[in-house]
Structure 1
Amino acid sequence: MTEFVLVPGGWLGGWAWREVAAELRAAGHGAHPVTLTGLGDRRHLAGPQVGLSTHVEDVVAVLESEELTDAVVVGHSYGILPATGAVDRVAERTARLVHLDSVVPQDGKSLLDLLVAPQQAEEITAWVAEHGEGWRWPMPPVDQIDAIARLDGVSRADRERLARLGAPQPLGTATEPLRLTGAVLTVPATGVFCTRNGNSIARAQELHDSGDPAYMGLAARGITCFELDTGHWPMFSAPAELARVLCAAAAGHGHSLLPRRLG
């Protein structure tokens, strides 16, 4: 039996993992969907004081309060940043960290640092300052999300659920840099790439071979990799398949990034 801690991406709450958690429990595992401060049923706690470190504390609190000692921590999209920060804090409670169609976190970098060019980050910050009281970063309309993070395979009902339940993201969670001690590097890792969102094992290999330090670091840790033939939101578009991949990852299966090819 494996205990999975499921950290959602931006604008989402623990509700996003409903179907995946059911699949994992049906397979005999434990599932702990996390709702980060200011989102989901905790949206009443949102405010300018909420930053990335708040969300790191949220994940640590789940690991500690549930007394988990060999958890598989899954971070989807933005969720990999608080997931990584938490695992760095309590590595002894974690058996594996799973990057689900996400950026590769780096010490001293914020989500916006990793996701967009500096000019785009300034535009987002300026828009939120003018329209979001300086801290509310609303989820884009669903019909615009597809251009940012592919919705392939997501049903009309789930698109409506995204629009209905998605909450404004406190901007501090995207601008506060992640701080790591390096303890997370001792924890085995897995990457799950959603191919219809433009991510793949081949692309990760290319970045590794080009000398990208983030991907070279993952390879040095012996990261295992999987692909899902779906868009960026597999918890909605392919929950059963995602659950099977998470179970396989927990067992240590998956492809490995090859050593850097020279010449």
Structure 2
Amino acid sequence: MTAFVLVSGGHTGGWIWRDVTARLRSAGAEVHAVTLTGLGDRRHLAGPGTDLETHIEDVAQAIDHVDAPEVVLVGYCYGIYPSVGAADRRLDRISRLVHLDSPMPQDGYSMLDQIREQMPHGEARERMLGMRERAEDGWLIPAPTPEEWRAHGNLAGVSPEALARLARLASPMPIGPCEQQLAVSDAVTALPATGVFCTTGGTMDIATLEGLVASGLPLVQHLADPRASFFELATGHWPMLSTPGELADVLLRAAAGEGHRLAPTTAAHHGGQ
């Protein structure tokens, strides 16, 4: 049996995977949707000391409670950071790590570090870097209002009903997990991986990534490994709300090792010579 552990992003919780979970289970999969400490229906557990380590342990514990021997671990948006951290601690349990419209965490960087160094200048970048200034009591970022979701959430394809549910159930987010740096080992980087790009309003797609690999950029060369695969979804940043059936199908295909493969650079073919 294929087993999935689904890790959502900021301000949300396991509830956001409802429709995807139903479809995966109908296909015979075991599914665990994680709600990180301080989010969703665990918002009352948030505190100034809630950090990335807290969320890594949340995901590691979820993996420990999976019956199947191996897990497809899916990290969405911010959720990829605790997913990568937990994968490093449960390497023998992870059959594939799926990056769902998420960054590629780098060793020694926090989420905000990567935004500061890598995100193009603009309103979205400045808003994310202003988290601490917006935080209540210096540590708790308020949940976005419906107007803020519409303005900044890349909600392409999300129905008014789904947006209303998102706004109603969204929780504040502790800032600690966004600021704590993550250690990324070579062992995690070597795991079979899948990237899923949401291309409507997004900044990355398969063609762009292929160009980066062809350019020789060292950071992405490992993505040309034949065990790495890629998919695109023609929707906005919330595929579990806008296209849950298509997302479930992509996750099942990823678990089966399907997906687009990148061609290695000429230098890689010749050992870097």
Contact 1:8–1:75 (8 Å) recurs in 2: yes
**Aligned residue type for 1:127:** R
In structure 2, the CA distance between the partners of 1:175 and 1:14, relative to structure 1 (3 Å rule), is: same
Deviation at 1:204, TM superposition (A): 1.6
Deviation at 1:187, TM superposition (A): 1.5
2:176 paired with 1:172: yes
Unmatched tracts of structure 1, length 5 or more: none
Indicate the residue corresponding to 1:217 in structure 2: 222
Write the mapping of 1:1-263 to structure 2, written as runs, cut at 5 A: 1-117=1-117, 120=126, 123-128=130-135, 132-198=136-202, 199-220=204-225, 222-260=227-265
In structure 2, the CA distance between the partners of 1:221 and 1:36, relative to structure 1 (3 Å rule), is: farther
CA distance in 2 between counterparts of 1:142 and 1:258 reads 42
Tell which deviates more after alignment, 196-205 or 86-95.
196-205
**Aligned residue type for 2:11:** W
Tell which deviates more after alignment, 137-146 or 238-247.
137-146
Per-residue CA shift, 1:103-127, capped at 9, x if unaligned? 0011111111122459946633233
Contact 1:189–1:221 (8 Å) recurs in 2: no
Tell which deviates more after alignment, 215-224 or 146-155.
215-224
Deviation at 1:78, TM superposition (A): 0.6
Indicate the residue corresponding to 2:122 in structure 1: none
CA distance in 2 between counterparts of 1:114 and 1:142 reads 27
> How high is the TM-score relative to the length of structure 1?
0.92
Tell which deviates more after alignment, 59-68 or 38-47.
59-68
Contact 1:222–1:257 (8 Å) recurs in 2: no
Secondary structure (helix, strand or coil) at the match of 2:9 reads: coil
Deviation at 1:157, TM superposition (A): 0.8
CA distance in 2 between counterparts of 1:150 and 1:250 reads 27
Deviation at 1:191, TM superposition (A): 0.2
Deviation at 1:168, TM superposition (A): 1.0
In structure 2, the CA distance between the partners of 1:220 and 1:196, relative to structure 1 (3 Å rule), is: same
Secondary structure (helix, strand or coil) at the match of 1:244 reads: helix
Contact 1:149–1:197 (8 Å) recurs in 2: no
The two structures, once aligned, show a CA RMSD in angstroms of 1.9
Deviation at 1:252, TM superposition (A): 0.3
Secondary structure (helix, strand or coil) at the match of 1:241 reads: helix
CA distance in 2 between counterparts of 1:77 and 1:122 reads 16
CA distance in 1 between counterparts of 2:262 and 2:148 reads 33
Deviation at 1:162, TM superposition (A): 1.1
Tell which deviates more after alignment, 210-219 or 29-38.
210-219
Secondary structure (helix, strand or coil) at the match of 2:130 reads: helix
Q: How many residues align?
A: 259
